[in-house]
């Protein structure tokens, strides 16, 4: 390969709808013919993909195929719930199956690389991209990361229906200060190692072909020019063999970041730090050959990156099968089994936040036979999930029934009174009055409020996490009629709904349930399925609590033993880590979710009261399994069958670095018939008890350990053991 041909492999442009500030480049055909482009993104038209591919394969000197990439984030044609919602199923096998469907549908049009999964740990609901990840926990996030990779990449990457995965955004993007997208992050190595890096490591261990370097600066060094994370951790420690693509123009953004004042320096810094491919900024194309000629970049390094990229192209079988089969797309979209899977995931992602007895003493959900009519009120009730995904594109519709039509199917056409009550951001007095009138005529009001899709995702940070526009007023006006109210919250993030949490008897977090939203919601409301989703993020009471996450450190002045509902009464209760105007606790904690039945948990038991740090560390190194068995029994104490996610948390005290009050280290989903009891057994590996210590090593240390088996991150009783030296 000539140097120019090598540099060509390091270059990617958008040849479709830009997903960031554009370069304005359009000379792709000529560049491809000259071997100057290794990859294109955002082309979603199969004839155009094949046209570009023919130019690459037939006209360029070395016939190297183009790799086509796209943000296929929660399905392609069959749209699954947001990743945040899918994680709320706590079921990696479902995520793997959904990603498989996404890969089958997208690869059929010629997309062999998805910029997914987003595995950023996110603790701040102001950040709009919280919607694209698996929430605040590294253990759950790691399982989800690996599941996406397995699903996209299949069992053989060279099968024509796979896509190379791309774990993003490496690293720390989710910790944007103030929740403001693209903002800087400061993350200590300890916090990076224990919280932010594990999901990326899991994706690498699962074989992800690529990673994307992030926009944000990390401890003063932009993530797209960060040798510590990109080379030391990723290549040297984890042995990553694939390639790293920059995020959109993030190499170009090294100039506004302030670590380069010209494009050649930006290209050099990004590349030498470990970014193999430059997405959209054109800086590699413009400068790399000259950087090699001047000796600033060794050609050997270029060779390495080209190998990394070509290895992925070979692994995908692109050299043998470069073209998309134009007929295949017609046969793989919206397959009945894909829609069925979508519906199952949608149903299991719904989180029942509240179902308190209403005025008549019984819970409103599931909707009883006595309810003969409903008022469907709110701007999001018709089609809460336009199949747009995160990126508006011209997607065909699936033909799935809408939520109102599903209600009408169950109650009769004339018994569903629709009143939008305005739009997301605006409502007139008349619209609110019409909604109130609709509620008065009905037995039950269902309010569908929250955020539409475009209010979460990239570049959608908010400073206010309440219901947008006049939706809160609408809710209060309808509730004031005295009619029973069920609130369905659609959102891509936790919202602050303190009034509703107190006043509204039944609340369901619905996220954006995807293609089969209508049936999934109706079946849940009418009790044809029992909700089983659990939160993967803490829902705050007030935006001022953010960032809010369950696995926080204890602080030196924990407030736990004081009644924070009261103002401080003495110096002991004043000088603790608390607010003077809000509780510390979330409105709804991580791991929480109700169902139409109830469960009781026995105390947690363990098979050992002592372990030795020395033995644990030996086990860690040898990669041996199971050092501790933890058990509890869980009973279904209600009258319906249900699926419960039983969670296991660990807390360590006496270690060299302060550890979270609790950290998730395991979970199991169990099905329980009414009255049934099951014993749930967890085998813990040594790494569940190891930490990133003050010697910058991952190791077990002498400590006092609490282990909880519980239904969420705040309840349950712990069993105790000691780790001796």
Complex with ligand BGC: residue 170 or 240, whichever CB lies closer: 170
Which SS3 state, helix, strand or coil, does residue 290 take? helix
Cα of 112 vs its chain's centroid, Å = 21
Complex with ligand BGC: residue 176 or 377, whichever CB lies closer: 176
Which residue in this structure is represented by tokens 């053989």? 156
| CB of 642 closer than 8 Å to CB of 593 | no
Of 326, 302, 277, residue with least CA distance to 39: 277
Complex with ligand BGC: residue 196 or 248, whichever CB lies closer: 248
Question: Cβ of 464: how many Cβ atoms within 10 Å?
Answer: 10
Complex with ligand BGC: residue 214 or 353, whichever CB lies closer: 214
Complex with ligand BGC: residue 122 or 439, whichever CB lies closer: 122
Write down how long the chain is: 725
Instruction: Evaluate the omega torsion of the peptide bond into residue 366 and state whether it is cis, within 30 degrees of 0.
Output: yes
Across the beta sheet with 243-246, the strand order is: 166-170, 210-213, 243-246
Complex with ligand BGC: residue 248 or 334, whichever CB lies closer: 248
CB of 154 to ligand BGC, least distance (A): 21
The DSSP bridge partners found for residue 12 are 39, 279
CB of 202 to ligand BGC, least distance (A): 19
Look at phi and psi of residue 549 and say left if phi exceeds 0, alpha if psi is from -120 to 50, else beta.
beta
CA-only gyration radius of the chain, Å: 26
Q: Using alpha carbons only, what angle is made at residue 266 by residues 265 and 269, rounded to the nearest 5 degrees?
A: 80
CB of 479 to ligand BGC, least distance (A): 39
Query: What residues line the site for ligand BGC (CB under 6 A)?
Result: 19-20, 41, 71, 115, 168, 247-248, 458
Q: Using alpha carbons only, what angle is made at residue 119 by residues 117 and 121, rounded to the nearest 5 degrees?
A: 155
Which residue in this structure is represented by tokens 């011209």? 394
Active site residue 247: yes
Complex with ligand BGC: residue 74 or 523, whichever CB lies closer: 74
CB of 392 to ligand BGC, least distance (A): 12
Q: Parallel, antiparallel, or unpaired: how do β-strands 113-114 and 67-70 relate?
A: parallel
CB of 212 to ligand BGC, least distance (A): 6
CB of 122 to ligand BGC, least distance (A): 13
Which residue in this structure is represented by tokens 């033909």? 399
Which residue in this structure is represented by tokens 């193999």? 276
Q: How far is CA 659 from CA 191, 400, 663, 721, in A?
A: 10, 47, 9, 16
Instruction: Evaluate the omega torsion of the peptide bond into residue 547 and state whether it is cis, within 30 degrees of 0.
Output: yes
CB of 461 to ligand BGC, least distance (A): 13
Complex with ligand BGC: residue 170 or 692, whichever CB lies closer: 170
The phi and psi torsions of 24 (rounded to 5 degrees) equal: 80, 5
Q: Which residues lie below 8 Å from residue 192, measured CB to CB, with a gap of 6+?
A: 171, 172, 229
Element (H, E) at 351: strand 351-355
Q: Which of 124, 247, 276, 718 is catalytic?
A: 247
CB of 391 to ligand BGC, least distance (A): 7
Complex with ligand BGC: residue 19 or 427, whichever CB lies closer: 19
CB of 150 to ligand BGC, least distance (A): 20
Please report the sign of the dihedral spanned by the C-alpha atoms of residue 238, residue 242, residue 243, residue 248.
negative
Element (H, E) at 444: strand 444-450
Which residue in this structure is represented by tokens 């509902």? 565
Q: Parallel, antiparallel, or unpaired: how do β-strands 703-710 and 718-724 relate?
A: antiparallel
CB of 164 to ligand BGC, least distance (A): 13
Q: Which residues lie below 8 Å from residue 461, measured CB to CB, with a gap of 6+?
A: 126, 127, 128, 176, 178, 179, 180, 181
The token pair at 180 is: 């403001």
CB of 70 to ligand BGC, least distance (A): 8
CA–CA gap between residue 211 and residue 377 (Å, rounded): 43
Complex with ligand BGC: residue 153 or 703, whichever CB lies closer: 153
Complex with ligand BGC: residue 168 or 578, whichever CB lies closer: 168
| CB of 174 closer than 8 Å to CB of 218 | no
Question: Cβ of 640: how many Cβ atoms within 10 Å?
Answer: 15
- The catalytic residue positions are 247
């Amino acid at each position: 390969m000539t140097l120019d041909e090598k540099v060509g492999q390091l270059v990617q442009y958008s040849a479709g709808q830009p997903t960031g500030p554009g370069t304005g480049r359009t000379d792709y055909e000529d560049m491809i013919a000259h071997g100057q482009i290794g990859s294109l993104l955002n082309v979603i038209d199969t004839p155009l993909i094949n046209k570009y591919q023919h130019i690459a394969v037939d006209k360029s000197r070395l016939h190297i195929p183009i790799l086509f990439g796209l943000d296929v984030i929660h399905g392609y044609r069959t749209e699954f719930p947001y990743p945040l919602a899918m994680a709320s199923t706590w079921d990696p096998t479902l995520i793997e199956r959904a990603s498989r469907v996404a890969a089958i549908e997208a690869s059929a049009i010629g997309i062999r690389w998805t910029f997914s999964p987003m595995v950023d740990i996110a603790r701040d609901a102001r950040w709009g991209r919280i919607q694209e990840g698996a929430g605040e926990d590294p253990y759950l996030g790691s399982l989800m990361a690996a599941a996406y990779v397995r699903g996209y990449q299949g069992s053989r990457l060279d099968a024509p229906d796979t896509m190379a995965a791309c774990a993003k955004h490496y690293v720390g993007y989710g910790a944007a200060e103030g929740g403001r997208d693209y903002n800087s992050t400061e993350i200590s190595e300890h916090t990076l190692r224990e919280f932010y890096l594990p999901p990326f490591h899991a994706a690498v261990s699962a074989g992800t072909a690529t990673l994307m370097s992030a926009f944000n600066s990390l401890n003063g060094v932009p993530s797209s020019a960060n040798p510590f994370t990109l080379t030391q951790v990723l290549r040297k420690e984890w042995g990553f063999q694939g390639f790293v693509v920059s995020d959109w123009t993030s190499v170009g953004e090294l100039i506004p970041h302030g670590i380069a004042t010209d494009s050649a320096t930006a290209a050099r810094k990004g590349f030498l730090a470990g970014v193999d491919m430059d997405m959209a900024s054109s800086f590699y194309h413009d400068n790399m050959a000259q950087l090699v000629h001047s000796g600033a970049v060794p050609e050997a390094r270029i060779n390495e990156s080209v190998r990394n990229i070509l290895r992925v192209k070979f692994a995908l079988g692109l050299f043998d099968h470069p073209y998309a089969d134009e007929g295949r797309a017609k046969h793989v979209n919206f397959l009945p089994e894909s829609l069925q899977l979508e519906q199952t995931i949608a149903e299991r992602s719904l989180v029942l936040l509240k179902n308190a007895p209403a005025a008549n003493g019984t819970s409103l959900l599931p909707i009883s036979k006595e309810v003969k009519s409903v008022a469907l009120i709110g701007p999001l009730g018709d089609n809460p999930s336009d199949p747009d995904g995160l990126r508006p594109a011209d997607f065909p519709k699936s033909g799935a029934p809408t939520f109102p039509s599903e209600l009408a199917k169950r109650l009769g056409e004339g018994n569903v009174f629709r009143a939008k009550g305005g739009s997301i951001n605006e409502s007139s007095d008349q619209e609110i009055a019409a909604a109130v009138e609709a509620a008065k005529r009905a037995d039950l009001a269902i309010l569908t409020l929250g955020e539409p899709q475009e209010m979460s995702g990239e570049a959608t940070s908010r400073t206010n996490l309440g219901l947008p526009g006049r939706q809160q007023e609408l809710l209060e006006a309808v509730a004031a009629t005295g009619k029973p109210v069920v609130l369905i919250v659609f959102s891509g993030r936790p919202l602050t709904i303190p009034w509703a949490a107190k006043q509204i008897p039944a609340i369901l977090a619905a996220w954006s349930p995807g293609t089969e939203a209508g049936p999934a919601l109706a079946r849940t409301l009418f009790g044809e399925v029992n909700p089983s989703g659990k939160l993967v993020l803490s829902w705050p009471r007030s935006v001022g609590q953010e960032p809010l996450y369950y696995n926080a450190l204890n602080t030196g002045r924990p407030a736990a033993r004081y009644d924070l509902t009261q103002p401080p009464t003495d110096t002991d209760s004043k000088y603790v880590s608390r607010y003077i105007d809000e509780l510390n606790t979330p409105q709804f904690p991580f791991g929480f979710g109700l169902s139409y039945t109830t469960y009781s948990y026995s105390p947690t038991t363990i098979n050992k009261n002592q372990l030795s740090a020395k033995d644990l560390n030996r086990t860690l190194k040898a990669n041996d399994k199971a050092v501790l068995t933890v058990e509890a029994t869980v009973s279904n104490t209600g009258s319906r069958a249900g699926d419960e996610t039983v969670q296991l948390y660990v807390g360590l005290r006496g270690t060299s670095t302060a550890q979270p009050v609790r950290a998730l280290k395991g979970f199991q989903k169990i099905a329980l018939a009414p009255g049934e009891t099951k014993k749930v057994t967890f085998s813990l590996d040594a790494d569940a008890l190891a930490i990133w210590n003050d010697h910058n090593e991952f190791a077990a240390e002498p400590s006092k350990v609490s282990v909880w088996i519980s239904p969420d991150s705040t309840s349950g009783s712990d069993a105790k053991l000691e780790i001796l030296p």
